[in-house]
Amino acid sequence: MLPGAPHLARDAAGELRLEGHALAELGRRHGTPLYVYSRAAMLNALAAYQRALQGRRHLVCYAMKANSSLAVLQTFAQAGCGFDIVSGGELERVLAAGGSASRVVFSGVGKTRAEMRQALDAGVRCFNVESTGELERLSEVAVAAGRRAPVSLRVNPDVDAGTHPYISTGLKGNKFGIAHGEALAAYRRAASLPGLEVVGIDCHIGSQITQVEPYLDAAERVLDIVAAVEAAGIALQHIDFGGGLGITYTDETPPAADLLVRRLLERVDARGYGGREILFEPGRSLVGNAGVLLTEVQYLKPGDAKNFCIVDAAMNDLMRPAMYEAWMAIEPCALRAEPAATWDVVGPVCESGDWLGRDRRFAAAPGDMLAVLSAGAYGMAMASNYNTRPRAAELMLDGERVHVIRERETARELFARERLIG
Q: How far is the CB of 206 from ligand LLP (least distance, A)?
A: 7
Residue closest to ligand LLP, measured at CB: 283
Select from 318, 319, 317 the least CA-distant residue to 390. 317
Compute the distance between CA of residue 391 and CA of residue 3 in angstroms, rounded to an integer: 25
Q: How far is the CB of 347 from ligand LLP (least distance, A)?
A: 17
Q: Does 177 bind ligand LLP (CB under 6 A)?
A: no
Alpha helices in 245-368 (DSSP H): 257-270, 284-287, 320-324
Q: How far is the CB of 325 from ligand LLP (least distance, A)?
A: 11
Compute the distance between CA of residue 282 and CA of residue 199 in angstroms, rounded to an integer: 20
- Exactly one of 61, 126, 309, 350 is catalytic; name it: 350
The piece of 179-187, 275-283, 332-340, 350-358 that touches ligand LLP (CB under 6 A) is 275-283
Exactly one of 36, 66, 171, 349 binds ligand LLP (CB under 6 A); which one? 66
Helix (H, G, I), strand (E, B) or coil at 103: helix
Query: Which residues inside 308-327 make contact with ligand LLP, applying CB under 6 A?
Result: 320, 324
Select from 248, 253, 393, 379 the least CA-distant residue to 321. 379
Q: Does 243 bind ligand LLP (CB under 6 A)?
A: yes
Q: How far is the CB of 397 from ligand LLP (least distance, A)?
A: 22
Handedness of CA 17, 332, 355, 168 (dihedral sign): positive
Q: Does 247 bind ligand LLP (CB under 6 A)?
A: no
Q: Does 242 bind ligand LLP (CB under 6 A)?
A: yes
Give 195 or 282: the residue with its C-beta nearer to ligand LLP.
282
Give 140 or 277: the residue with its C-beta nearer to ligand LLP.
277
Q: How far is the CB of 31 from ligand LLP (least distance, A)?
A: 25
Compute the distance between CA of residue 410 and CA of residue 336 in angstroms, rounded to an integer: 33
CA distances 44 to 23, 262, 290, Å, are 21, 17, 9
- Residue span 333-372 as binding mask against ligand LLP, x where in contact by CB under 6 A, dash where not: ----------------------------------------
Compute the distance between CA of residue 287 and CA of residue 66 in angstroms, rounded to an integer: 7
Exactly one of 107, 118, 248, 289 binds ligand LLP (CB under 6 A); which one? 107
Compute the distance between CA of residue 169 and CA of residue 63 in angstroms, rounded to an integer: 15
Q: Torsions phi, psi of 259, nearest 5? A: -65, -45
Exactly one of 87, 156, 207, 289 binds ligand LLP (CB under 6 A); which one? 207
Which class for 288: exposed (0-12), middle (13-18), buried (19 or more C-beta within 10 A)?
buried
Q: How far is the CB of 142 from ligand LLP (least distance, A)?
A: 21
Rounded CA Rg of the chain: 23
Question: Can 309 be counted among the known catalytic residues?
Answer: no
How many chain residues touch ligand LLP (CB under 6 A)?
19
Q: How far is the CB of 410 from ligand LLP (least distance, A)?
A: 27
Exactly one of 18, 26, 36, 63 binds ligand LLP (CB under 6 A); which one? 63
Compute the distance between CA of residue 303 and CA of residue 49 in angstroms, rounded to an integer: 48
Compute the distance between CA of residue 166 and CA of residue 279 in angstroms, rounded to an integer: 22
Q: Does 281 bind ligand LLP (CB under 6 A)?
A: yes
Q: Does 93 bind ligand LLP (CB under 6 A)?
A: no
Q: Does 297 bind ligand LLP (CB under 6 A)?
A: no
**In which element (H, E) is residue 332 found?**
strand 330-332
Helix (H, G, I), strand (E, B) or coil at 350: coil
Helix (H, G, I), strand (E, B) or coil at 178: strand
The piece of 15-23, 36-44, 238-246, 261-269 that touches ligand LLP (CB under 6 A) is 238-246
Q: Which residues bind ligand LLP (CB under 6 A)?
A: 63, 66, 84, 107, 204, 207-208, 242-245, 281-285, 320, 324, 378
Catalytic positions are 350
